[in-house]
Structure 1
Amino acid sequence: MESNAVKAVALGGGRGLHASLSALRLITERVTAVVTVADDGGSSGRLRRELGLLPPGDLRKALAALAGDGGSMWSTVFQHRFGGTGALAGHAVGNLVLAGLLEVLGDPVAVLDEAARLLNVRGRVLPMCTEPLDIEADVIGLDEDRTAVRKIRGQVAIATTPGQVRRIRLHTAGAPGSVPKACPAAVDAVRDADVVLLGPGSWFTSVLPHLLVPELHEALVDTPAARIVVLNLVPQPGETAGFSPERHLQVLCEHAPRLRVDAVIADADSVSTPDRLRRAATELGAEARLDRVVAEGMRERHDPAALAGSLRRALAAVRGT
């Protein structure tokens, strides 16, 4: 199979999804980003609260990551943030454009396809769900009794908690206890893919949420695609402080025990106990691949070319080619 024929799907949000998309676009032009929609902070949170729309920030970043050369100026403008102290301060231009398109068109998938044409996107960007979601987490270590469980609500609060996150739950915004419904196009993309990537990214607020949407979870379990997990380079303060690479895999398994994985990619210099990571990967059915994928001089960022090379080798090994 020619590399440009590979249908790749990357699931996540924020900077982590940008890393996987930047690597995948070096392998194939048939890339679909499936993006979390639970952000409640910054410009996205303000637009979500004021207009009741999907938070646009992570969707905007995914569009920019896949923008072609013909859309480079628009990509730059999309990422531009207003300064000053007025009503627009802190808003990204792309967030406002997406919010306007959402009010005019109504359908988030149509909105993202329209924005993709404007930016000359190579691939497609889809929301995980077509309605905004809320995240709730069980967190320990916040009380004198370090084992006491406290419920923390909201993506920003969970991502910055000084406690240790144990488990998360998702529901449709404003409807506690509801079951989130997946975007059908996202489900179809996962089922039709040749390779699906989970991670890197904020583990509890960008990566694991995809596993908690029933239709998307079933698609990830059933897809014939190669399933590859890309681990973070460093623990995230608050959300995964103190987590070892293997702990990330254990938490993934706790949230989706039926999910099997084909390969786990980690940076060789970021893993202090390779044997433990290999054992944790094996429990998911995967082979751990330790490569040097960190950007030079930037310990917290993946190098797109190095990650693309690691993904190519992982995919070849899964296929037996």
Structure 2
Amino acid sequence: MSTKIEQSIANNNGKVVVIGGGTGQSVLLNGLRAYPLDLTAIITVADDGGSSGTLRDYLRMVPPGDIRNVMATLSNASNDFLHLFQYRFKSDAGFLANHTIGNLMIAALAQENQDISAAIKILSQMMDVQGHVYPVVNDPLTLCATFTDGTTISGEAEITHAHKKIERIWVEDVDGSEPKSEPEVINAILGADVIVLGPGSLYTSILPNISIPNVASALRITPARIIYISNIMTQKGETDDFSDSDHLRVLNKHIGANVIDTVIMNSGLVPEDYIDWQRWDEISHQVKSDPEEVRKQGAVPIMGNLIELRDEGVFHDAQKIAELLYTIIKDPGTGKDSL
């Protein structure tokens, strides 16, 4: 790394904002934390399933699960502490069934301080979290979808289980008012050098964030380079037969302009005989690569073999993605079709 680049990063020019949710966001951040970057995670709060959904309903708080995973990923706490933080009670544990210690800690601090942001700040200090962690809003949201057949469903779990083609996604506050992100979220977007969308479920991890009006507005005016990491596999009932440019089109449509500058696309081939289709029944087929269609939407396609094969499934390789992103951050002119 050159002296110029080191000085640039030392002067806080390596500000990277990762917007998303689910396991993909944590995987990416785990790769990026190996580099000298100022990381910020903006996390969806529309999850309504599992332990997060239960705490959300009982305590009227944002679902803590994705927040917990990101904090654990960025923490410098001991492995023993992190193991306890991530411990999930077994399904036969009565009222504690399937809850994680970390979710309960976040819930307790949020209730004690009457503010989820304060809870995250306190816990971040306790866990020596290297970066900034923000829920996209401080109140739980309801995810809503209109399908191509004209029907409408509310609730992330219900939308996912419907397995129907989605026309549009939006979020609603529990009291019916328009959701609004806090100033620190908007300031992070406006002050970033690079903003990363994904990887993760298009309709349930990424769009719930960018569908918030002031977040979409900030994305339209930020000087940051906006990068989308396209999914490797389509999601059954949601993105069947989607190409990379189809994902991009939906994102730009919900943001309200063609603002995405770069699309990172996988060029590796997924071996059909490797995937356990029963175990990973939410995936369908490999996403089609169509770089020319991506260019037509004003984005630069950057391709590479980004596949990690494990557990009879297909995932993004965190190290490869992080290395590629860091190359882009070091050299903003990066735009080759194959790296």
Scaled by the length of structure 2, what TM-score is found?
0.85
The structure-2 alpha-carbon separation of the partners of 1:110 and 1:280, relative to structure 1 and needing over 3 Å to count, comes to: farther
Can you list the C-alpha shifts for 1:189-246, whole angstroms capped at 9, x where unaligned?
1111111100111111110122211221121111111111001111122332332222
Please list, as runs of the form range in 1=range in 2, the aligned pairs for 1:253-264 lying within 5 A after superposition: 253-264=252-263
Instruction: Output the amino acid matched with 1:280.
Output: E
Partner of 2:319: 305
Q: List runs of 5+ in structure 1 lacking aligned partners.
A: 141-147
- Describe how 1:96-115 pairs up with structure 2 within 5 A: 96-115=104-123
Is contact 2:242-2:287 (8 Å) kept? no
Partner Cα distance (2:268, 2:195) in 1: 25
Q: Give the partner amino acid of 2:27.
A: A
CA positional deviation for 1:32: 0.6
Q: Distance in 2 between matches of 1:285 and 1:315?
A: 19
1:183/1:282 CA distance change after superposition, 3 Å: same
2:94 counterpart of 1:86: yes
Q: Find the aligned partners of 1:273 and 1:159 in 2 and give their Cα distance.
A: 22
Shift in alpha-carbon separation, 1:29–1:71, aligned structure 2, 3 A: farther
TM-score when scaled to structure 1?
0.90
Q: Identify the match of residue 21 of structure 1 among 22, 26, 29.
A: 29
2:327–2:334 contact (8 Å) kept in structure 1: no
Residue in 2 that maps onto 1:171? 172
Q: Of residues 297, 302, 309 in structure 2, which corresponds to 1:289?
A: 302
* Aligned 1:130-169 pairs, distance under 5 A: 130-140=138-148, 148-169=149-170
Aligned to 2:84: 77
When the two structures are aligned, how many residues end up with a matched partner?
Answer: 309
How far 1:247 moved relative to its partner?
A: 1.4
Question: Which one of 18, 27, 40 corresponds to residue 48 of structure 2?
Answer: 40
Does residue 181 (structure 1) correspond to residue 180 (structure 2)? The answer is yes
Q: Cα deviation per residue 1:80-108 (whole Å; 9 max; x = unaligned)? A: 10012400010011110000001001222
2-structure distance, mates of 1:280, 1:210: 25
Query: Compared with structure 1, are the counterparts of its residues 46 and 73 closer, same or farther at alpha carbon in structure 2 (3 Å cutoff)?
Result: same
- Counterpart of 2:227 in 1: which secondary structure? strand
Change (3 A) 1:272 1:12: closer
CA change 1:238–1:320 in 2 (3 A) is: closer
Which aligned runs of 4 or more in structure 1 are off by greater than 4 angstroms?
270-273
Q: Shift in Å at residue 8 of structure 1?
A: 0.8
The amino acid of 2:75's aligned partner reads A
Counterpart residue identity of residue 261, structure 1: I
Question: In structure 1, how many angstroms separate the alpha carbons of the residues matched to 2:82 and 2:321?
Answer: 23
**Structure 2: gaps of 5 or more residues:** 270-285
Partner AA of 2:26 in structure 1:
H
Aligned to 1:241: 240
How far apart are the structure 2 equivalents of 1:72 and 1:189? 30
Shift of 1:257: 3.2
Judged with a 3 Å threshold, the aligned counterparts in structure 2 of structure 1 residues 256 and 283 are, in CA distance, closer, same or farther, namely: farther
Give the Cα separation in 1 of the matches to 2:35 and 2:333: 16
Identity %: 34
- Provide the alpha-carbon RMSD of the alignment: 2.0
Structure 1 CA distance for aligned equivalents of residues 240 and 175 of structure 2: 29
SS of the aligned residue for 2:95 comes to coil
SS in 1 for 2:234: coil
Instruction: Measure the CA separation in 1 of the matches of 2:21 and 2:29.
Output: 10
